[in-house]
Amino acid sequence: MFISLITNGTLQPADILPGSRVLAQLIGINRNTVKLAYEELVSQGWAESIERKGVFVLAKLPVLTRPVVPEMGKSKSQQEAFTWTNKFENAWITKEPEKMMLAIDGGFPDVRLAPIDLLMREYRSLSRRLHGKTFLKYGSSKGSENLRAAICSYLSHTRGLTVPVENIIITKGSQMGIYLAAQLLLNPADNIAVGLSNYVLADDTFRYAGANLVRIPVDGNGMDVDQLEAVLQHTNIKAVYIIPHHHYPTTVTMSTERRLKLLKLAKEHRFAIIEDDYDFDFHYNNKPYLPLASIDHNQNVIYIGSVTKTFAPALRIGFMTGPTAFVDAAAALRELIDKQGDTVLEEAFAVLFNTGEMDRYFRKSLKIYRQRRNLLCQILQSNFSEHVTFNIPEGGLAVWTNFDERINLIKMTEDAAKKRLQIDDGSFYKNESFAVNGIRLGFASLDESEMVEALSILKKVLH
């Protein structure tokens, strides 16, 4: 208390403090406690005890004035204690989810299906073992070598993507990979091609790097590469950010023809391709398309993926691959913002990959999510045909749903919240060029009974 009064200017240097007996009576504590507190103030240099006079605020302390309450009408910058550049005034900030509410999210996994107990068992086991103690020390900023090796093997047998261990870096989710790639690739005023509809946090990341966003249309076959080719005739493009497998937010998949042409253009015009493959593992109708990185023979592709987007979003494990020098530079940059990840968690994930537990989890969840997708689409077709249009997605964890233009999605969200249902209002998917009255309806995180209940509430709200 006294330190606060001194630092805010209420007590000035050489002011006398109340006697120990008086202060003890005022606040109802033992006098010895007050004496000990005064001794501590003296020892820390806040006060001085003068014999036969009492305890005083140290006379040598600088004179501090009480803070002034800003006057009404002053600008925000005039009220702030220091000047700084806020580049994030209009950036999207994820809100804390409402507790105890049924939620139709934008497409997240059901964390109840993930083998969290097994993961935590391995985590505890590793931290207790003698050799596991080494994982509690500083390690490589590229991440656990065991997990990198496990992911290399996983990429090889699921995507046909052969990557040496030194060419992969473990990140805290795919978002860190996007950030690292943007910082290394883009300089102020560089141009990066992105979808007309696109992942808003990727857009914000590229803008933060100072780049200009060049919007390329996206249709049922993915990004319009012919339109990109036309842009390249008069605009220098430094990189192309693309989500060819289950584009975000519309879930469309890029055709093979366009993939090959994009790689051809990248080679000819010497631009990088940032391939965001955040949910490759969930594909329902047939085998998924191979990533661009798997068929890139010119090393134009920087490939970014996520383990936890398909496992549990709060457990931040992602990865990025690319040319050796690029990955080395990304590791050096990563050290500036986050020395390394959670090595023990990474080692625990490596065990789950190596024992086949991750493969079993993916097979199990794939079957369940296919059933949930089918149920959601069935209910939408039978009960919401007058309100929405949609295409059944081949994969991913959400259905891109266009609502009738007469439906105000913001009001719909507010009315749903009153009935204890949380649902997007579509704001996250909009940008300066894309303002469709649509949202992603995630089906993976709801079991059948929850989905029926959630859609029943939504139906009542719409009526």
Taking the domain 2-57, which CATH number applies?
Answer: 1.10.10.10
In this prediction, residue 191 carries a pLDDT of: 98
Q: How far is residue 163 CA from its own chain's centroid? A: 25
In this prediction, residue 316 has a pLDDT band, given cuts at 50, 70 and 90, of confident
Dist CA 175 CA 305 (whole Å): 9
Dist CA 310 CA 317 (whole Å): 10
Sequence-separated contacts (24+) of 123-132 with Cβ below 8 Å: 123/344, 123/345, 123/348, 126/344, 126/347, 126/348, 126/351, 127/344, 132/344, 132/347
Q: What is the mean pLDDT of residues 128-156?
A: 84
Return the closest-CA partner of residue 439 out of 395, 375, 388.
Answer: 388
- 381, two tokens: 């077709």
pLDDT in tens, 223-273: 999 999 999 999 999 999 999 999 999 999 999 999 999 999 999 999 999
Backbone angles phi, psi at 151, to 5 degrees: -70, -35
Q: Which parts of 372-420 are beta strand (E)?
A: 388-390, 398-403
Model-level pTM?
A: 0.86
Return the closest-CA partner of residue 333 out of 462, 189, 183.
Answer: 183
Would you tell me how many other CB atoms lie within 10 Å of the CB of residue 334?
Answer: 25
Whether residue 398 contacts residue 440, with contact meaning beta carbons closer than 8 Å, is answered with yes
In this prediction, residue 13 carries a pLDDT of: 92
Q: How buried is residue 64: exposed, middle or buried, by Cβ count under 10 Å (0-12/13-18/19+)?
A: middle
In this prediction, residue 259 carries a pLDDT of: 96
Would you tell me how many other CB atoms lie within 10 Å of the CB of residue 4?
Answer: 9
Residue whose token pair is 């509410």: 101
- 130, two tokens: 């003698």
Q: What is the mean pLDDT of residues 292-310?
A: 92
Sequence ranges of the domains in the chain? 2-57, 102-112+360-462, 137-356
Task: Say if residue 128's pLDDT is above 80.
Answer: no
In this prediction, residue 285 carries a pLDDT of: 81
In this prediction, residue 125 carries a pLDDT of: 87
Whether residue 308 contacts residue 173, with contact meaning beta carbons closer than 8 Å, is answered with yes
Judge: domain 102-112+360-462, CATH 3.90.1150.10: yes
- Overall residue count recorded for the chain in this entry: 463
SS3 state of residue 313:
coil
Note if the bond before 249 is cis, omega within 30 degrees: yes
- CA angle, 440 then 417 then 105, to 5°: 25
Who's near 416: CB < 8 A, 6+ residues apart? 422, 423, 457, 458, 461
Q: Which residues of 446-463 are buried (b: 16+ CB within 10 A; e: fewer)?
A: beeeebeebbebbeebbe
pLDDT in tens, 30-77: 999 999 999 999 999 999 999 889 999 999 999 888 776 666 655 555
Higher local confidence (pLDDT), 338 or 378:
378
Dist CA 281 CA 293 (whole Å): 16
- 297, two tokens: 């023979």
Q: Which parts of 146-278 are beta strand (E)?
A: 168-171, 191-195, 212-216, 218-219, 222-223, 239-242, 272-277
Task: Say if residue 78's pLDDT is above 80.
Answer: no
Judge: domain 137-356, CATH 3.40.640.10: yes
Which helix (H) or strand (E) segment holds residue 102: the answer is strand 102-104
